[in-house]
Amino acid sequence: MNRLYVLLLVSISFFVATTSTAFAGKVEDIQTKLNQSRQQTMAMLSETDKTVLDMRYEEALASSKEVDASLQSALADLSLQAQHASFEEFKQVWDSFKTTRDQEIVPLLMAGKQEQARALAQKVQLDRFKRMNVLLNEARSK
């Protein structure tokens, strides 16, 4: 009986450790890619060279695709059901963030209107960026 109890405890401990490690990895991955995307967009704000702007935008898009893939994986992971609401709200804010970047900020930058682009990035986008980080922290604490 003692061996069975020990085996059960070891199995439960392993499950909890691997589940929380997998979860922490998914949130960290989303957060890392989110930060990369934001940094690349912010770096665009001081650029006037269209070649450099294009390069940075491609880098931001690549990071965005990685955020999308990691987020989709987290939403599909049945072991993360407790975090589902945080991930869903994150997705809504993230979609707005990408839309503003792609349809407003980047066109403004390409048109040479850095100040208008900077105003969007430092106000509306900053609030969204902060909200996404709050949601990831909430998901991490559940």
Tokens matching residue 65: 């695709």
Q: pLDDT value at position 19? A: 39
Q: Is the pLDDT of residue 103 over 50?
A: yes
Q: Are 73 and 64 in contact (CB under 8 A)?
A: no
Q: Are 70 and 139 in contact (CB under 8 A)?
A: no
The per-residue pLDDT for range 53-62, each reduced to its tens digit, is 999 999 999 9
Dihedral in degrees, nearest 10, Cα atoms 44, 48, 49, 50: 70
Q: pLDDT value at position 49? A: 93
Q: Is the pLDDT of residue 30 over 70?
A: yes
Q: For 31-45, give one letter per residue: b (16+ CB within 10 A) or e.
A: bebbebbbebbbebb
> What residue segments make up the domains of the chain, in order of their start?
24-141
Q: Comparing 17-26, 35-44, 129-138, which segment has the lowest mean pLDDT?
A: 17-26
